[in-house]
Amino acid sequence: MGLALLSAAPALAQPVMLDAKEGQLKYTLVHKLHEVSGVCKTVEGKAALTPDGGAKVQVRAKVACFDSGNSNRDVHMREVTREALYPLVSVKGTLAGLKLPLAAPLQTTLAATVEFNGNKQPVQVPVTLTSEGAKLRAVFKFDISLDAFQVERPELLLVKVDDKLVIEGELTFEPGEAAAAPAAK
């Protein structure tokens, strides 16, 4: 049913709703002495695909879910990003030119706004989309400035981490419950 729904998406007069069913986000910070990565495997996301090939996308994760393998470092990261006040990091955006089903992988750009540490910044997110049956897989990588988001950069031996925070992810979207089971007439 989901594949038929995606195939018929351009003919529908209403958006097709997709939910992120699996995936992960990863951040990477660089310090002169080492590189640090934290992974979050509990990501929420939704996409609304419109008949004209546009899409609205929202993805968010709890700041506390990122695990670098070092609990002291993770606690410090939650402190400098003011997780108690701003427990979520989110990306909201739009893209154009998405017609399902995809004949081949599609490289596109999500014109997005990142909300992090109580601040919002515009970001262009390069995304590669592939179809896997009724699923739509998105792979992306972009960077943000910690200074722009007013994050006090962590230090080690009196040397701060670089300003650039690289964010990458992989999400799989599937038809949402409302899209998978149309209401009976």
Indicate which CATH number applies to the domain containing 21. 2.40.128.110
Q: Is position 132 within any domain?
A: yes
| 3-class state of residue 72 by DSSP | helix
pTM: 0.82
User: How far apart are the C-alpha atoms of 76 and 156, rounded to whole Å?
Assistant: 12
Number of domains in the chain: 1
Percent of the chain having pLDDT more than 70? Answer: 88
Q: Is position 183 within any domain?
A: no
User: How far apart are the C-alpha atoms of 83 and 75, rounded to whole Å?
Assistant: 10
User: How far apart are the C-alpha atoms of 2 and 172, rounded to whole Å?
Assistant: 14
**pLDDT at 13 (0 to 100):** 63
**pLDDT at 153 (0 to 100):** 84
Going residue by residue through the chain (185 aa), what tens digit of pLDDT does each one get? 343 344 444 444 688 899 998 999 999 999 887 789 999 999 999 999 998 889 999 999 999 999 999 998 899 889 999 999 999 999 999 999 888 888 899 999 999 999 999 999 999 999 999 998 889 999 999 999 999 999 988 777 777 888 999 999 999 999 876 544 344 34
Q: Is position 26 within any domain?
A: yes
**pLDDT at 145 (0 to 100):** 95
Q: Is position 61 within any domain?
A: yes
Whole domain around residue 170: which residue ranges?
A: 2-176
Q: Is position 73 within any domain?
A: yes
Contact in structure between 61 and 25 (CB atoms under 8 Å): yes
User: How far apart are the C-alpha atoms of 179 and 174, rounded to whole Å?
Assistant: 9
Q: Is position 115 within any domain?
A: yes
**pLDDT at 138 (0 to 100):** 96
Q: Pairing between strand 16-31 and 34-40?
A: antiparallel
User: How far apart are the C-alpha atoms of 38 and 29, rounded to whole Å?
Assistant: 9
**pLDDT at 111 (0 to 100):** 97
Q: Is position 11 within any domain?
A: yes
